Structure 1
Amino acid sequence: MLKIICKPLLPIVMALGLTGITTVAAQAAPLTQQSFQQVLQEERSWAGLTTRTLKVGDIEWTYSEGGDKAKPTVMLVHGLSGSRDNWNRVARYLTPYYHVIIPDLPAHGDTKVPAEFDLQIPNMVEALRRFTEAASINKNLNVAGHSLGGAVAGLYSAQYFFDVQSLLLIDSAGVFKSTQSPYLKDPTLLRDIVVTKPGDFDKLMKIAMYNPPFIPSALKQEQEKVMIAQADNTRKVIEQLIKLYGYYTPETFALAARAIEAPTLIIWGKQDKIIDVNVVPELKGLIKNAQEPVILPNVGHTPILEAEQLVIQKYLPFLQKAVATPNPFAGSAP
């Protein structure tokens, strides 16, 4: 039997992304995968979210949805090896004011794709576009992305600028000239942070978070099992990233970034070890409507869990202004 003993939520890392989880204590019986899923469901409910599914072509999407459908839509995109639950702590502050959609990306979380599905970022963006069309949320969309999800959100915003109202990038992946990160200079190192065996989860937390929290061992073990089960898909995505870094250059990345028209807010953890803060001025210089970036001290790669209240304090006023500003490209779709 599980007992919810406190809120707000306790973060759990998932590779370059994370999952936030309600703080729990296992009493009597050990934590099972079924009760672990119940904990996740409790957290989604606390954030004002419910689970939905939608089949689009050969992809069976699973996503969280919350808020009033009559209000502007915000779509939140998670990072590598993460899931929709990465965003629960942020979504809690959005659902009272906005319609919120958080999909599990292809081959992540509970979204199912064929074994041969192309996991390169451009194909994920195209699949995400088909999802937004099928869900009827493709117009006047406010897009936010964390880590790898930032690269997906950025490319989506560049390609579909006539439908994107605003963009939020949090510790976003990209091909940068100014990076000092070993993981960006040599993306093959990403292979070393895949959780494939017991103990890898602790190692990952120390890399992804500046000040990792205490997590009850039963909860940690179940999360680690989930990540080990997803390791093959994580490897596939990483191999595609390695290929991408092999043929994309900072110049080709810049072309895509310069095509972003939407007002853009950039938020970064100052102590990010995976995508270092040195790239922020470069990214801001590429995006024509980028606001002054927000740098969060004593925060690592995961501000959406390490400092979600600081993220929301900056994002809500930005979002309010963005949705009130007409998109000059609306209605100009090719």
Structure 2
Amino acid sequence: MSDFVENSVESFIDELQSALKNNPKPINIKALKNWEPSGLTTALLRKVQGYATGMKRRSTFVKSQKIVWLEGGNPHGEPVLLLHGFASSKENWVLLLPYLTRRYRVFVPDLPGWGESEFNYVEQYSLEKQLDRVDNWTGRYMPSQFHIVGSSMGGGIAALFTARHPEKILSLTLMNALGVFGSESTHFEQELKKGNNHLIAHRLTDVVRMMSTVMSYNRWTLTALLVPLMYQELVSRRHINQHMFHQLLEHAPPTMFEGIAHITSPTLVLWGEKDRILHASCATVFKQLIPQAEVKIFSEVGHLPMVEVPQMTARALLGFWRQLSKKHIAKDHHCLSPA
């Protein structure tokens, strides 16, 4: 492992924690206590999406936290778990689902504290706590082994989960994933190192900037569509999102992501070339940490490939999983062949 890659992993948590300490943002506890879900348009979309995708909405409690997820697809197919990113929800995956559900059994949760899953201001939402909740939920409601795909923050959680529970993972896909710094940095990353998270929207102009940043420049029509759909919920959650940003990093040791270097599961790294949130050079760092990983860079795509180019994203995922199945079948055939 090169010195740069080693320092990138070691400094990731350390730099962000230092930035928060040096640039403290006050948390409005009263707003956290009194917050209630809002966003009529988003609520209506969530009602419709089950019918549109054929997915069933389910919910449960994990250690006093209500978790909501979508589940559906081929009941006989290999299971797939999709984890969304920061300031996001399970709805980020909706455009991708039709391409996956014919062959695979798909599970799409709102991570604790996000989307329809419960937020409770007295609970902790550190990376450690979130990993523990995901582990508890998958142990109860998912088969013993599954493919895991994580976007952005969800990618960081997926990588940590895979490093800790390799026996559960058929494959790992990191999509524009959180966890390392690349050799180059975006304006968003530079601001993040100062303690400023531009994925937290306080007003309409922030939502416009946020949506324009997560999408590549040539997706302006998609950006224009998403701003009015997401505006009310993003602004109403501003205090929660600020709190969650602090919570994610709270108590995390600087060495937290070092375990990624020990991942042996088949891994695919997908990245948008025009990502203005996490620079595409991060993909190279993940490749050096996980040598067996395949890397695919999408040209002219930003931070959310599954939203911008769902068909292309599905093609990459399905091709990766298909190759793994072929290797598995070939291995089993070889083991059964007479000596």
User: What is the TM-score when the length of structure 2 is the normalising length?
Assistant: 0.78
Sort the Cα spacing of 1:166 and 1:219 in 2 relative to 1 into closer, same or farther, 3 A. Answer: closer
The 8 Å contact of residues 36 and 219 in structure 1, kept in 2 or not, is answered as no
Sort the Cα spacing of 1:147 and 1:35 in 2 relative to 1 into closer, same or farther, 3 A. Answer: closer
Sort the Cα spacing of 1:184 and 1:84 in 2 relative to 1 into closer, same or farther, 3 A. Answer: same
Q: 2-side partners of 1:218 and 1:100: how far apart?
A: 26
Offset from partner CA, 1:250-295 (integer Å, 9 cap, x none): xx53x2111212101111000111100112111111114212x111
Sort the Cα spacing of 1:216 and 1:164 in 2 relative to 1 into closer, same or farther, 3 A. Answer: closer
Q: Between Structure 1 and Structure 2, whose CA radius of gyration is higher?
A: 2
Give the Å deviation of 1:324.
Answer: 5.4
What letter corresponds to residue 227 of structure 1 in structure 2? L
Offset from partner CA, 1:14-57 (integer Å, 9 cap, x none): xxxxxxxxxxxxxxxxxx95454233333343233121111122
* Aligned equivalent of 1:135: 141
The 8 Å contact of residues 121 and 152 in structure 1, kept in 2 or not, is answered as yes
The 8 Å contact of residues 58 and 113 in structure 1, kept in 2 or not, is answered as no
* Aligned equivalent of 1:287: 290
Sort the Cα spacing of 1:56 and 1:273 in 2 relative to 1 into closer, same or farther, 3 A. Answer: same
Higher strand share: 1
Structure 2: segments with no counterpart, 5+ residues: 1-37, 332-339
Sort the Cα spacing of 1:158 and 1:324 in 2 relative to 1 into closer, same or farther, 3 A. Answer: farther
The 8 Å contact of residues 180 and 285 in structure 2, kept in 1 or not, is answered as no
1:143 alignment partner, SS class: strand
* Aligned equivalent of 2:204: 198
Sort the Cα spacing of 1:316 and 1:237 in 2 relative to 1 into closer, same or farther, 3 A. Answer: same
Give the Å deviation of 1:81.
Answer: 0.8
Paired residues, number: 291
The 8 Å contact of residues 73 and 101 in structure 1, kept in 2 or not, is answered as yes
Q: 2-side partners of 1:136 and 1:96: how far apart?
A: 18
Q: 1-side partners of 2:207 and 2:171: how far apart?
A: 34
Sort the Cα spacing of 1:53 and 1:260 in 2 relative to 1 into closer, same or farther, 3 A. Answer: same
What letter corresponds to residue 117 of structure 1 in structure 2? E
1:178 alignment partner, SS class: coil
- Aligned-CA RMSD value: 2.6
- Trace 1:260-279 onto structure 2 (pairs within 5 A): 260-279=263-282
Residue 225 (structure 1) aligned with residue 232 (structure 2): yes
* Aligned equivalent of 2:177: 172
Structure 1: segments with no counterpart, 5+ residues: 1-31, 329-334
The 8 Å contact of residues 165 and 263 in structure 1, kept in 2 or not, is answered as yes
Give the Å deviation of 1:175.
Answer: 2.5
Q: 2-side partners of 1:288 and 1:66: how far apart?
A: 33
Q: 2-side partners of 1:65 and 1:110: how far apart?
A: 14
Q: 2-side partners of 1:244 and 1:129: how far apart?
A: 19
Give the Å deviation of 1:234.
Answer: 1.0
- Trace 1:1-334 onto structure 2 (pairs within 5 A): 33-34=39-40, 36-137=42-143, 139-176=144-181, 178-187=183-192, 188-210=194-216, 211-214=218-221, 220-241=227-248, 248=254, 253=257, 255-291=258-294, 293-323=295-325
Q: 2-side partners of 1:214 and 1:257: how far apart?
A: 37
Sort the Cα spacing of 1:218 and 1:270 in 2 relative to 1 into closer, same or farther, 3 A. Answer: closer
Bigger Cα displacement from structure 2, 299-308 vs 193-202: 193-202
Q: 2-side partners of 1:50 and 1:111: how far apart?
A: 15
Which one scores higher on RCO, CA 8 angstroms, separation ≥ 6? 2
Q: 2-side partners of 1:100 and 1:232: how far apart?
A: 31
Instruction: Give me the identity figure in percent.
Output: 23
Higher helix share: 2
Sort the Cα spacing of 1:185 and 1:232 in 2 relative to 1 into closer, same or farther, 3 A. Answer: same
